């Protein structure tokens, strides 16, 4: 008996400018990268729906509504329940989530998974959602994981490309990085985005004037960065990345490893480097205009036991992978 299977994937992301401030209604700029999460939804021959996440929880299959799910899967169950409660069809699914995006390092893993799952489930039920509705439901699930997510991760996973994001509004920001290289360095320091965001919130409540000054400075950098990106002024982009990192360090969301990575890369000829995402660990992004320097930088990072690779951008957001 043939089993109907629907597959959708969604990209990870890097935030080029504006993280943390974006949670407080300031703008940010992000771009989709060519690491993707995939959701495969198959009609189940069993009497119950199941979900498996072999990249993160190998050899485990969870029976929905019977097996207690790990904390990191509760957001996915929210999505599944949202569909099944509102569907006139009584059918069960076998859901498999796979991902090329390392989790908890600032590359938008959870948002990509949520977006891919929303798209695949809605299509499997015969009522595919438009991009706006995919974004909305996936963003609701992100609130379970991150408490007060800005929405930028979900937006970039949904729409792809480069975006300017402010107060929930997404605007396409086309730019050409063909004259430069962006290297991603994973410090391999895992962290919890929700904890870091809540710590920033506590600082904001305790020292509102100081934190507002930092956010306003980041806001100004984002505005200048948009101009530099449109004009393909990679020298200015690099300078603004370095300035953004210093402000994030002042905010207290950097990490000794991240600062060390930034310093080493700057010494090796980077035009600019900064943490990306929530910070506290995770990844650094670095801009170069010379492939020889890129190769040297990647080799040095690997010698220090970090992961490092050239990031390729993608215009594709969520997409149908079904044959």
Domain boundaries of the chain, sorted by first residue: 5-173, 181-311
Percent of the chain with pLDDT over 70: 98
- For 127-175, how does the pLDDT look when each residue is reduced to its tens digit (9 = 90+)? 899 999 999 999 999 888 777 778 899 999 999 999 999 988 999 998 8
CA 198 from centre of chain: 18
In angstroms, the CA 83 to CA 280 distance is 35
CATH code linked to domain 5-173: 3.30.230.10
How confident is the model over 175-181, as a mean pLDDT?
A: 84
Q: Identify the helix (H) or strand (E) that includes residue 84.
A: helix 74-86
Q: Is the dihedral of CA 152, 189, 62, 58 positive or negative?
A: positive
* Average predicted confidence (pLDDT) for the chain: 91
How confident is the model over 311-315, as a mean pLDDT?
A: 91
Helices (H) then strands (E): counts for the chain: 9, 12
End-to-end Cα separation, the chain, in angstroms: 18
pLDDT for 67 equals 72
pLDDT at 125 over 80: yes
In angstroms, the CA 124 to CA 64 distance is 17
pLDDT for 47 equals 77
> Is 153 assigned a catalytic role?
yes
Which comes out higher in pLDDT, residue 41 or 323? 41
Query: In the structure, what pLDDT confidence band is assigned to residue 58 with cuts at 50, 70 and 90?
Result: confident
Contact (CB, 8 A) for 261 and 185: yes
Is this structure's pTM higher than 0.85? yes
Q: Identify the helix (H) or strand (E) that includes residue 209.
A: helix 208-230
pLDDT for 1 equals 43
With a CB cutoff of 8 Å and minimum separation 6, the contacts of 310 are 181, 182, 183, 184, 294, 298
- Furthest CA-CA distance within the chain: 65
Encoded tokens for 322 = 């079904």
With a CB cutoff of 8 Å and minimum separation 6, the contacts of 146 are 110, 193, 194, 197
Q: Which of 2, 133, 153, 316 is flagged as catalytic? A: 153
Percent of the chain with pLDDT over 90: 72
User: In CATH, what class is 181-311?
Assistant: alpha beta
How confident is the model over 101-112, as a mean pLDDT?
A: 92
Q: How many CB atoms lie within 10 A of CB 303?
A: 9
pLDDT for 88 equals 63
Encoded tokens for 248 = 């994030």
Query: In the structure, what pLDDT confidence band is assigned to residue 89 with cuts at 50, 70 and 90?
Result: low
CA 55 from centre of chain: 17
- For 282-304, how does the pLDDT look when each residue is reduced to its tens digit (9 = 90+)? 999 999 999 999 999 999 999 99
pLDDT for 12 equals 96
pLDDT for 201 equals 95
Q: Report phi then psi at 154, rounded to 5.
A: -65, -40
pLDDT for 156 equals 95
Q: How many CB atoms lie within 10 A of CB 312?
A: 12
Encoded tokens for 176 = 């050409």
How confident is the model over 259-276, as a mean pLDDT?
A: 96
């Amino acid at each position: 008996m043939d089993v109907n299977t629907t597959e959708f994937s969604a990209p990870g992301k890097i935030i080029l400018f504006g993280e943390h401030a974006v949670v407080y209604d300031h703008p940010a700029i992000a771009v989709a990268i060519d690491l993707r999460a995939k959701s495969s939804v198959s009609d189940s021959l069993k009497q119950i729906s199941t979900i498996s996440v072999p990249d993160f929880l190998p050899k485990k299959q969870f029976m929905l509504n019977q097996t207690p799910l790990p904390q990191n899967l509760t957001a996915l169950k929210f999505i599944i329940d949202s569909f099944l409660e509102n569907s006139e069809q009584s059918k069960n699914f076998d859901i498999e989530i796979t991902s090329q995006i390392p989790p908890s390092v600032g590359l938008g893993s959870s948002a990509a998974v949520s977006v891919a799952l929303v798209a695949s489930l809605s299509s499997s039920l015969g009522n595919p959602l438009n991009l706006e509705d995919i974004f909305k439901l996936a963003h609701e699930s992100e609130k379970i994981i991150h408490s007060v997510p800005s929405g930028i991760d979900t937006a970039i996973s949904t729409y792809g490309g480069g975006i300017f994001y402010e107060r929930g509004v997404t605007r396409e920001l086309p730019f050409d990085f063909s004259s430069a290289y962006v290297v991603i360095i994973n410090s391999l320091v895992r962290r919890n985005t929700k904890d870091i965001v809540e710590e920033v919130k506590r600082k904001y409540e305790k020292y509102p004037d100081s934190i507002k000054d930092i956010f306003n400075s980041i806001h100004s950098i984002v505005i200048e960065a948009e101009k530099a990106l449109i004009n393909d002024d990679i020298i200015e982009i690099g300078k603004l990345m370095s300035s953004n990192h210093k402000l994030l360090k002042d905010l207290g969301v950097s990490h000794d490893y991240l600062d060390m990575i930034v310093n080493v890369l700057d010494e090796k000829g980077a035009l600019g480097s900064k943490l990306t995402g929530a910070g506290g660990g995770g990844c650094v992004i670095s801009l170069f205009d010379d492939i020889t320097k890129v190769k040297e930088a990647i080799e040095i990072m690997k010698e220090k036991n970090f992961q490092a690779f050239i990031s390729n951008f993608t215009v594709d957001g969520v997409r149908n992978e079904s044959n």
